[in-house]
Chain A
Amino acid sequence: MLLGATLLAKQVWYIVPLILSVSLVYGATRHELWRPILINAWHTAVWMVVFMAVIFTVLFLVSWSL
């Protein structure tokens, strides 16, 4: 329920263009050609989302007992 409420909060969606931009620029600094840039950008974006999901889960579990 908390997860659903978090996703519905409009502030969360401000992260989407930021992830897109950061992963594309980071990918472009690692490679020169389009295909490897896009692959790297995808991996970076997934990594960032998973990382934030892990942090969210930890905070969620910690706050459960409060």
Chain B
Amino acid sequence: MTSPPLTPEPTLEIDLRDQNLAALLAWLWPGAGHLYQRRYPKGILFMACILGTYFFGLSLGEGKVVYASWNQTERRWQFVPQVAIGLPAAPALVQSVVKRRGGEPLFGGWFAPPRNQAELSEWHNRLNIRFELGTLYTMVAGLLNVLAIWDAYGGPVVGEPAGKERGPPKDDDKDKTT
């Protein structure tokens, strides 16, 4: 018995437009790169999931879990994955600069690093497990955005067979209709 010859299915072609710009936009704001590429459903999905996770974690930690600090008080390595979320983590960098210049924290103290070890201990004591959970959520959100950035740059890992469902419109398609 012979099996039918395997012929590769035509795959859904996706117009990634300017991949570098899409990746930059995806980093700055989760989902923005996909919206730029006109991959609207995925853009909205990434935005909802990643930003939802990030802001849920941030609210769990009452705004104290995302901050940039690299000194004797604390080496906040968790900020590295957190900053992968782009602009939503940017206030932490502003607060870090403000603190270094000796100014008062902005934004009601959200994103501000602790002044000293005693304040950090007070946060841990008051927030308890919510500090850890908030940190975890915001870190995971940042790491998920790395996947989204990669998807904006290179497209999905598995090619979709071209069928009834259509992907995002390509520029060529637009030319054909006009």
Residues of A at the B interface (CB closer than 8 Å) are 11, 14, 17-18, 20-22, 24-26, 28-37
Q: Are B140 and A32 in contact (CB under 8 A)?
A: no
Contacts of B148 in A (CB 8 A): 25, 28-29
How many B residues have CB within 8 A of the partner chain? 30
Cα A31 to Cα B50 in complex, Å, equals: 17
What's the count of A-B pairs with C-beta under 8 Å?
66
Cα A24 to Cα B144 in complex, Å, equals: 10
Binding site of B, secondary structure by majority: helix, strand, loop or mixed? helix
Q: Is B80 an interface residue (CB 8 A)?
A: no
Residue with the greatest number of chain B CB neighbours at <10 A, chosen from A18, A34, A36: A18
Q: Is B156 an interface residue (CB 8 A)?
A: yes
Q: Are A30 and B41 in contact (CB under 8 A)?
A: no
Nearest CB of B to A16, in Å: 11
Q: Is B98 an interface residue (CB 8 A)?
A: no
Contacts of B140 in A (CB 8 A): 18, 21-22
- Considering the complex, give the chain A residue whose CB is closest to the CB of B57: A18
Q: A11-B129, A32-B12, A32-B14 known; A25 and B156 CB under 8 Å?
A: no
Nearest CB of A to B49, in Å: 4
Cα A30 to Cα B133 in complex, Å, equals: 27
Cα A21 to Cα B167 in complex, Å, equals: 23
